[in-house]
């Protein structure tokens, strides 16, 4: 956090959300109905996490503890493990404290699932499909295969560039090999999907759970893109992306499930799943502050601010990020170390960002807090920078835009001036969000159930997505549904 990233990286970071980290192996699935296996025998234990694994867990917010959800995941794993292609392998599942929809596995047998993924999924079969997909990566040794291909890719490019003394041709070869590597990784995802579908069917779960979850994942990405002002076309992916497009995966997953049987086979386990996730945290980790539309509150650190109109915010342990106008405007709020003896004006002028206009530096007061602000001009982006001293800390507010008009700058400065120390009443009322399970009444609709959710933008769309529904009329009296609550 001590140096500002370049403008391109600032915008990229504001856009980035690692959704759907993993997926599942080939061979044609069995055509015949698959038997439900008996309870599994005792299995060997997974080794304790290594220092590297601990660091990886920390990146995803550390472990998240919910006795009901953890017991549920362990129960699913107990059914999947003996149904896998290598039944003797030891596995362990860990729930991570991240709102990002993600899951991944390590060759050691450690499987990780985020609470964000649990919030999106709608039944046991869907979560089982994700976990079985990760088991597929392990049993197919995908990590080792990729590492070997990466090593060969590096060596071939180096031989052409250095040994044969053809650096330009070496670069071209490396680019072609990188495309092959991306294609290889996408194929691994499709293969792992196939493995997972066979595994959940053998374990007695609904094999169509995989395609249902992939469809939810596509809808989630489309809604997010739409909120950010981007094209919601979910099947446009970068050619270097390691994961295949969602429509391709959904089609392949549906085809694999149909070869096993018609819809209706296997256990979906919706009610058991909803009971298990009742009350889990939704969205930001409470210890890292909360986003409520354009408002960000951090009760632990004691401050709040409001982003300019049109901004969509994201929170992380390192910074609050925002984006607007389809990516042509962005913001970042972070905390930096500035000695008490260093003036804020000197800090702005100290060279941590290029193109600072020295004559633009001015001393200001923001809600009783000492601050300094200035502008900087890069080749493609213009910045409004502000440093605010808050107790022993200094907070940076960095606004970026393609063209800093007087109206845009006025909006940035107005947002800067909302930064304030939270009052005791604000601190009391700032509560984290959670998933609550409700039963629909006779007159309930998606609109009525979504009305109380503290989601300022498109609450009905969020409700439908959370519950895997296509339209409001799909809500049925007596059925249980997920809602977001404080």
Q: What is the 3-state secondary structure (H, E, C) of 410-439?
A: HHHHHHHCCCEECCHHHHHHCCCEEEEEEE
In the chain, residues under CATH classification 3.40.1000.10 are 286-428
In angstroms, rounded to a whole number, what is the distance separating the alpha carbons of residues 11 and 240?
19
Report if pTM > 0.85: no
277-300 pLDDT, tens per residue?
A: 999 999 888 788 888 889 999 999
Which residue has tokens 């632990």?
Answer: 300
Under a CB-based contact definition with an 8 Å cutoff, are residues 210 and 197 in contact? Answer: yes
Q: Report the alpha-carbon angle 460-465-470, nearest 5.
A: 80
Report the relative pairing of strands 281-282 and 433-439 from DSSP bridges: antiparallel
Assign 167 a pLDDT band (cuts: 50, 70, 90): low
Averaged pLDDT, 234-246: 47
**Strand partners for 93:** 111
Give the model's pLDDT for residue 235: 41
List strand residue ranges (DSSP E) for 28-118, in order. 92-96, 103-105, 110-114
Kind and range of the H or E run holding 145: helix 142-158
Mean pLDDT across the chain: 81
Environment class of residue 348 by beta-carbon count within 10 Å: exposed (0-12), middle (13-18) or buried (19+)? buried
Nearest Cα to 117, choosing from 96, 91, 137? 96
Buried b (16+ CB within 10 A) or exposed e, 271-308: eebbebbbebbbbbbbebbbbbebebbbbebebbbbbb
Under a CB-based contact definition with an 8 Å cutoff, are residues 458 and 417 in contact? Answer: no
Angle between helices 459-466 and 209-227 (to 10 degrees): 160
Which residue has tokens 């220092």?
Answer: 51
Averaged pLDDT, 368-375: 97
In angstroms, rounded to a whole number, what is the distance separating the alpha carbons of residues 113 and 101?
8
Give the model's pLDDT for residue 159: 45
**Strand partners for 398:** 332, 385
Under a CB-based contact definition with an 8 Å cutoff, are residues 433 and 115 in contact? Answer: no
φ/ψ of 481, rounded to 5, equals -140, 155
In angstroms, rounded to a whole number, what is the distance separating the alpha carbons of residues 304 and 296?
5
Options 3.40.1000.10, 3.40.50.300, 3.40.50.261, 3.20.20.80; CATH for 286-428 is 3.40.1000.10
Assign 168 a pLDDT band (cuts: 50, 70, 90): low
Give the model's pLDDT for residue 287: 80
Under a CB-based contact definition with an 8 Å cutoff, are residues 99 and 116 in contact? Answer: yes
**Strand partners for 112:** 94, 104
Token couple for 421: 């120390």
Under a CB-based contact definition with an 8 Å cutoff, are residues 401 and 332 in contact? Answer: no
Nearest Cα to 206, choosing from 272, 148, 292, 146? 272
Give the model's pLDDT for residue 285: 82
Does the structure show a pLDDT above 50 at 41?
no
Nearest Cα to 324, choosing from 401, 392, 390? 401
CA atoms within 13 A on the CB side of 347: 24
Which DSSP symbol is given to 6?
P
Nearest Cα to 260, choosing from 183, 204, 215, 304? 204
Give the model's pLDDT for residue 334: 94
**Strand partners for 324:** 329
**Strand partners for 292:** 295
Give the model's pLDDT for residue 94: 95
Give the model's pLDDT for residue 469: 95
Which DSSP symbol is given to 154?
H
Pick from 8-17, 209-218, 354-363: least confident: 8-17
In the chain, residues under CATH classification 3.10.350.10 are 432-485
Assign 379 a pLDDT band (cuts: 50, 70, 90): confident
260-278 pLDDT, tens per residue?
A: 999 999 999 999 999 999 9
Which residue has tokens 């008996």?
Answer: 38
In angstroms, rounded to a whole number, what is the distance separating the alpha carbons of residues 375 and 398?
10
**All residues at 6 or more sequence positions from 357 whose CB lies less than 8 Å from its CB, including other chains:** 374, 375, 376, 377
Options 3.10.350.10, 3.30.70.260, 3.40.50.460, 2.102.10.10; CATH for 432-485 is 3.10.350.10
Under a CB-based contact definition with an 8 Å cutoff, are residues 171 and 46 in contact? Answer: no
């Amino acid at each position: 956090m001590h140096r500002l990233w370049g403008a391109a990286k600032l915008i990229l970071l504001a856009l980035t959300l690692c959704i759907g980290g993993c997926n599942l192996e080939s061979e044609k699935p069995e055509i015949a109905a698959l038997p439900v296996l008996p309870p599994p025998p005792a299995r060997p234990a997974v080794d304790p996490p290594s220092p590297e694994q601990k660091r990886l867990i920390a990146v995803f917010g550390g472990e998240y503890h919910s006795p009901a959800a953890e017991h549920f995941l362990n129960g699913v794993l107990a059914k999947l493990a003996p149904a896998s292609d290598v039944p003797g392998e030891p596995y362990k599942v860990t729930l991570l404290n991240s709102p990002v929809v993600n899951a991944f596995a390590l060759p050691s047998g450690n499987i990780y699932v985020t609470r964000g993924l649990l919030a999106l999924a709608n039944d046991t079969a869907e979560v089982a499909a994700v976990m079985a997909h990760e088991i597929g990566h392990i049993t197919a040794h995908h990590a080792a295969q990729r590492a070997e291909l990466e090593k060969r890719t590096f060596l071939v490019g180096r031989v052409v560039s250095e040994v044969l003394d053809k650096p330009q041709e070496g670069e071209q070869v490396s680019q072609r090999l990188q495309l092959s590597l991306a294609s290889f990784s996408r194929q691994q995802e499709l293969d792992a999907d196939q493995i997972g579908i066979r595994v959940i069917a053998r374990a007695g779960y609904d094999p169509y759970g995989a395609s249902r979850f992939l469809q939810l994942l596509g809808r989630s990405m489309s809604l997010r893109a739409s909120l950010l002002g981007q094209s919601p076309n979910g099947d446009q992916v970068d050619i270097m992306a390691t994961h295949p497009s969602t429509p391709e995966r959904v089609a392949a997953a549906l085809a694999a499930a149909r070869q096993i049987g018609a819809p209706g086979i296997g256990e979906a386990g919706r009610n058991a799943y909803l009971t298990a996730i009742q009350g889990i945290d939704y969205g930001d980790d409470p210890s890292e502050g909360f986003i409520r539309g354009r408002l960000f509150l951090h009760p632990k650190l004691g401050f709040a601010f409001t982003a300019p109109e049109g901004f969509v915010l994201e929170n992380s342990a390192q910074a609050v990020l925002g984006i607007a106008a389809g990516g042509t405007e962005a913001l970042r709020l972070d905390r930096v170390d500035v000695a008490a003896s260093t003036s804020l004006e000197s800090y702005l002028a100290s060279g941590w960002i290029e193109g600072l206009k020295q004559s633009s530096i001015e001393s200001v007061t923001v809600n009783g807090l000492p601050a300094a602000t200035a502008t900087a001009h890069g080749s493609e982006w213009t910045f409004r920078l502000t440093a605010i001293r808050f107790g022993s800390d200094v907070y940076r507010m960095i606004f970026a835009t393609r063209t800093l008009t007087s109206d845009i700058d006025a909006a940035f400065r107005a947002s800067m001036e909302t930064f304030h120390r939270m009052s005791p009443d604000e601190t009391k009322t700032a509560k984290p969000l959670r998933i609550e399970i409700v039963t629909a009444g006779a007159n309930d609709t998606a609109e009525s159930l979504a009305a109380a959710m503290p989601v300022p933008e498109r609450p009905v769309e969020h409700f439908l997505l959370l519950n895997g529904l296509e339209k409001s009329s799909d809500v049925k009296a007596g059925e249980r549904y997920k809602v977001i609550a404080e």
